[in-house]
Amino acid sequence: MAIVAFAAGGALAGAAMRVLLGRLSRGARVRAPWCELAMGVLWALLGLRLGSAVTPAWWLPVPLLLAAFAVPLVVVDLRHRRLPDALTLPAYPVLGVAVACAGVFGGDSWLIGRALAGAALFAGAHALVRLLVPASLGAGDVKLAGSLGGVLGAVGWPAVLVAAVLATVLTLALAVARIHRGEWRTGVPHGPGLLTAAWLVTAFPGTGLEVGHG
Q: 3-state SS of 22-87?
A: HHCCCCCCCCCCHHHHHHHHHHHHHHHHHHCCCCCCCCCHHHHHHHHHHHHHHHHHHHHCCCCHHH
Burial of 9 (0-12, 13-18, 19+ CB in 10 A): middle
Q: Can you give the pLDDT at residue 208?
A: 55
Beta-carbon count within 10 A of 213 CB: 8
Interacting residues of 24 by C-beta distance below 8 A, sequence separation 6+: 84, 86, 87
The phi and psi torsions of 176 (rounded to 5 degrees) equal -60, -45
Closest CA to 56 of 9, 11, 115, 101: 101
Question: What's the confidence (pLDDT) of residue 182?
Answer: 67
Domain that holds residue 59: 2-208
Which residues of the chain are under the pLDDT cut of 50?
Answer: 211-214
Residue 214: the pLDDT is 36
Q: Is the dihedral of CA 136, 144, 126, 102 positive or negative?
A: negative
Q: Cβ of 214: how many Cβ atoms within 10 Å?
A: 10
Four-residue CA torsion sign, 140, 141, 145, 148:
positive
Residues of 79-94 as b/e, b for ≥16 C-beta within 10 angstroms?
eeebbbebbbeebeee
The reported pLDDT for the residue numbered 183 is 64
Distance CA 203, CA 197 (A): 10
Is residue 174 in some structural domain?
Answer: yes
Distance of CA 66 to the CA centre of its chain: 5
Give which of 130, 168, 126, 170 is closest to 145, Cα–Cα.
Answer: 126
User: Is residue 213 one of the residues assigned to a domain?
Assistant: no
Residue 30 lies in a domain: yes
Residue 214 belongs to a domain:
no
Q: Report pLDDT for 184.
A: 59
Residue 83 lies in a domain: yes
In a domain, 147, yes or no: yes
Q: Does any domain span residue 62?
A: yes
pLDDT at residue 212, rounded to an integer? 40
Domain count, the chain: 1
Q: What is the pTM of this model?
A: 0.92
The reply to whether 122 falls in a domain is yes
Q: What is the pLDDT of residue 23?
A: 87
Q: How many other CB atoms are found less than 10 A from the CB of residue 19?
A: 12
